[in-house]
Amino acid sequence: MLETALITCPCCWESIEIDLDLSGGTATYTEDCQVCCRPILVMLRVADDGEQFTVDVRAENE
Ligand SMILES: [Zn+2]
């Protein structure tokens, strides 16, 4: 199941929309910011029902 989430880039503080693949469950990966192109560490937590999720982001190099 694909979802989109609005996040704030920890590097340039712009709001960007990212695609999330909930079918893989909880995951941590990097995604390049669409504005400043720097890598963002995305920490996706998917609940047991596979529908509720939370997203945390931080700069990859912190
Ligand atoms: Zn950015």
Stretches where the chain sits below pLDDT 70 are 62
Record the tokens describing residue 50, joined without a space: 């596979």
Distance 15 CA to ligand 1 centre (A): 8
Distance 56 CA to ligand 1 centre (A): 15
List phi, psi (to 5°) of 24.
Answer: -85, -5
* Residue 43 near residue 53, CB atoms below 8 Å: no
User: What pLDDT, on a 0 to 100 scale, did the predictor assign at position 62?
Assistant: 63
Distance 26 CA to ligand 1 centre (A): 23
Distance 29 CA to ligand 1 centre (A): 16
User: What pLDDT, on a 0 to 100 scale, did the predictor assign at position 61?
Assistant: 78
Distance 55 CA to ligand 1 centre (A): 16
